[in-house]
Structure 1
Amino acid sequence: MISADLGLQLESFVSRLVETGRYNSKSEVLREGVRLVQEREARLAALDGSIARGLADADAGRTKPADRVFDRLEAKYRAMAQPKE
């Protein structure tokens, strides 16, 4: 069992969530909070992996000049902005 001191502000917030019926118990609020942190950490880990792959690609020379990429994107979005006939 985990016991945590949330401080007055967070404790009051959790109590209001339960009192208003948004959650059934303080434990339910805390479980939801931990789940949200878990999801965020998973997204951050995926981002870290993407950054590492990008840096490895750059180190290995698997890159394209920025001006070519920007030109391609600009052409793409100009074409998207053209009215369809």
Structure 2
Amino acid sequence: MQREKAERITITLPRDMLASIKKEVSSGSYGSTSELIREAMRMWQKREEEYKARISLIRERLAHSKQSGEPVPFNTAFKTIEEIHQQRVKKEVQ
């Protein structure tokens, strides 16, 4: 596997963040501060990808919902849900 060419950057961090990084590196959890920062970036990228996927799914569901028929008033929908819940509770008790 060929690695991409790395570029050196300079960042400024609060003292508590820097202390946490140094502590992890000195404990042996990471080989270097760069390794820890790369891992943090991978985690951030994964979180961003998951967030974008969730937003996309929500948008798809909203679009589908918008096209699925006439809107139902909130009170009517809530009453229907409550009735279904009560029916399920009765079945469980029997």
TM-score (norm 2): 0.66
Runs of 5+ consecutive residues of structure 2 not aligned to the other structure: 1-7, 72-76
Correspondence for 2:55 among 44, 48, 58: 48
Cross-structure match for 2:84 = 71
Larger Rg: 2
Correspondence for 1:17 among 24, 40, 48: 24
SS at match of 1:2: coil
Runs of 5+ consecutive residues of structure 1 not aligned to the other structure: 80-85
Alpha-carbon RMSD across the aligned residues, in angstroms, is: 2.9
TM-score (norm 1): 0.73
Spell out structure 1 runs of 4+ moving beyond 2 A.
65-68
Count of aligned positions: 78
1:17-72 residue CA offsets vs partner (Å, 9 max, x unmatched): 00111111000110000000000001001101111001101111269x6746x938
Q: 2-side partners of 1:7 and 1:23: how far apart?
A: 20
- Identity in percent: 24
Indicate whether 1:38 and 2:45 are aligned.
yes
